[in-house]
């Protein structure tokens, strides 16, 4: 018995302006995961707390959260890799359990982004880039991804209409997700209406509707050894493949602007470890922080050849009934993006899909699912493959 699985998943609602403290916010995702796993805090050997720093005043939140969640004196760790923190936390939990050092590990992701203003938040995100050579010049996340969009459009003929179709799909499923921040339908016509807020310019060619929103939220994953899962009578979703990569923090160090090298490298690692290929994936969650990000992810993960990602969204092959359903929970574009909680939310969705417990968002009989989670502007890439 040496497999590692996920036996519990949880997530708070993603909202703007959560009224409680960060520890109360973290408790919401943790409570749901513990109820899902049907275990007690005494069963957990260690915890990993994941977030991006500087959105709240608490330093070293792992100890504070472990105390509040009843997880002391067990060891606790703090991990951050920007937007991919919780997926990287799962990688660490897998290692701790696989090594035999721990049997059950809780991975808690959180972010309360409303504690600072939007301008301050953009400045924090900008400092996810190099603070010596890039962020002092005012670079921000939409501008970075606008460069990717411009490059993709120039090389492959991707259009504004293609980008809008990604948001339309996102909203189709965001309406079904009671955890999502945005739950209203979106039409392609909204992007053509100069008076509609969705068409408002952000950083050319990206418009308001092309961008995800900041949010407050938490997520939690309970990771266990095969032996412990069976002893507890659990039916876990197994971690089949893990991949991770990093890239030059400076754009001048990159040689690819129509995709993310870290996603290509991490996915190849995960496919090799799991012994599967892109055609074997039945359902996927990808990091759609911007509409162009989803199209690039199709290509980086091998669901489409370079330049053909737009064909998948045009033909609705990434809808729930399509060849490769993607982001059938609404993705970041509809759910919102509470940085430290995002990866855990993505993983939760795939776990529910593989269990057949996704409700209206359920894909038919999936056996293998994939999660693609990106930190920063392609600085970190994490790909996780799960199987039932």
pLDDT digits (tens, 9 = 90+) for 276-288: 999 999 999 999 9
Instruction: Note the pLDDT of residue 137.
Output: 83
Q: What's residue 197's pLDDT?
A: 92
**24-36 pLDDT, tens per residue?**
999 999 999 999 9
To the nearest whole percent, how much of the chain has pLDDT over 70? 100
Who has greater pLDDT, 252 or 242? 242
Are residues 55 and 85 in contact, defined by beta-carbon separation less than 8 angstroms?
no
Strand partners of residue 216: 15, 112
User: How many domains in the chain?
Assistant: 1
Q: Which of 102, 152, 287, 337 is catalytic?
A: 337
Q: For the chain, what's the residue count? A: 388
- 353 in Cβ contact with 385 (< 8 Å): no
Is residue 365 domain-resident?
no
Residue 247 has pLDDT above 90, yes or no: yes
CA dihedral 279, 170, 339, 94 (to 10 degrees): -30
CA dist 161 and 169 (Å) reads 13
Mind listing the pLDDT tens digit for each residue in 192-203?
999 999 999 999
Is 83 considered catalytic here? yes
Of the residues 50, 83, 220, 289, only one is catalytic, namely 83
The SS3 call for residue 70 is coil
CB 263 within 8 A of CB 376: no
Q: Please list the residues that pair with 337 across neighbouring strands.
A: 214
DSSP SS3 for 107: strand
CATH code of the domain containing 83: 3.40.47.10
In a domain, 193, yes or no: no
What the block records as the tokens of 2 is 């040496």
Residue 57, pLDDT score:
84
| Mean pLDDT, residues 100-113 taken together | 97
Domain that holds residue 227: 4-117+216-231
The verdict on residue 26 lying in a domain is yes
In a domain, 223, yes or no: yes
pLDDT tens profile 294-311: 999 999 999 999 999 999
Residue 130: pLDDT band (50, 70, 90) is confident
Among residues 139, 121, 91, the alpha carbon closest in space to that of 216 is found at 121
Does residue 14 have a pLDDT over 90? yes
pLDDT of residue 133: 84
* pLDDT of residue 190 exceeding 80: yes
pLDDT bin (cut points 50, 70, 90) of residue 150 is very high
Question: The whole model's pTM is what?
Answer: 0.97
Q: What is the pLDDT of residue 1?
A: 58
pLDDT at 385 over 90: yes
**Helix (H) or strand (E) run with residue 206 in it:** strand 206-207
Is 271 within a domain?
no
220 lies in some domain = yes
Q: Which of 116-125, 217-226, 246-255 has the highest mean pLDDT?
A: 217-226
* Of residues 239, 221, 220, the one with CA closest to residue 2: 239
Give the pLDDT confidence of 341-365 residue by residue, as tens digits.
999 999 999 999 999 999 999 999 9
Does the pLDDT value for residue 107 go beyond 90?
yes
> How large is the average pLDDT for residues 158-187?
98
Which one is predicted more confidently, 193 or 132?
193
Share of the chain above pLDDT 90, in %: 89
- Residue 241 in tokens: 């493949």
Q: Please indicate, yes or no, if residue 259 is contained in any of the structural domains.
A: no
- Is 324 a member of any domain? no
CB count within 10 Å of CB 273 equals: 15
**Average predicted confidence (pLDDT) for the chain:** 96
Per the annotation, the verdict on 337 as an active-site residue is: yes
Region 85-109: mean pLDDT is 98
């Amino acid at each position: 018995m040496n497999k590692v699985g996920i036996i519990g998943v949880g997530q708070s609602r993603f909202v703007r302006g959560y009224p409680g403290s960060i520890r109360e916010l973290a408790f919401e995702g943790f409570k749901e995961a513990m109820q899902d796993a049907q275990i007690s805090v005494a069963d957990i050997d260690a915890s990993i707390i994941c977030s991006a720093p500087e959105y709240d005043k608490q330093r070293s939140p792992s100890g504070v959260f472990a105390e509040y969640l009843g997880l002391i004196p067990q060891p606790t760790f703090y991990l951050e890799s920007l937007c991919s923190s919780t997926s990287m936390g799962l990688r660490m939990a897998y290692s701790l359990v696989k090594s035999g050092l721990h049997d059950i590990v809780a991975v808690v992701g959180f972010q309360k982004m409303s504690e600072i203003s939007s301008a301050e938040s953009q400045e924090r995100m900008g400092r996810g880039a190099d603070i010596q050579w890039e962020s002092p010049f005012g670079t921000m996340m939409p501008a970075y991804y606008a460069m990717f969009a411009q490059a993709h459009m120039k090389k492959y003929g991707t259009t504004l209409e293609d980008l809008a179709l990604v948001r339309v799909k996102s909203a189709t499923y965001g309406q079904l997700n009671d955890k999502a921040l945005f739950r209203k339908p979106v039409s392609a016509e909204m992007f053509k209406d100069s008076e509609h807020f969705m068409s408002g310019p952000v950083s050319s060619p990206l418009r308001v509707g092309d961008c995800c929103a900041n949010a407050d939220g938490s997520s939690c994953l309970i990771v266990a050894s095969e032996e412990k899962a069976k002893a507890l009578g659990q039916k876990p979703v197994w971690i089949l493949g893990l991949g991770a990569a990093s890239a030059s923090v400076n754009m001048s160090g990159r040689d690819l602007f129509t995709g993310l090298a870290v996603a290509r490298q991490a996915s190849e690692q995960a496919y090799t470890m799991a012994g599967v290929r892109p055609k074997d994936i039945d359902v996927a969650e990808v990091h759609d922080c911007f509409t162009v990000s989803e199209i690039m992810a199709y290509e980086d993960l091998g669901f489409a050849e370079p330049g053909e990602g737009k064909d998948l969204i045009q033909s609705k092959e990434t809808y729930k009934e399509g060849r490769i359903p993607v982001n059938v929970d609404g993705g970041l574009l509809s759910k919102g993006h509470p940085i430290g909680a995002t990866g855990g939310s993505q993983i939760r969705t795939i776990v529910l899909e593989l269990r057949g417990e996704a409700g209206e968002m359920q894909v038919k009989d999936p056996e293998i699912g994939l999660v693609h989670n990106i930190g920063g502007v392609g600085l970190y890439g994490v790909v996780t493959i799960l199987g039932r």
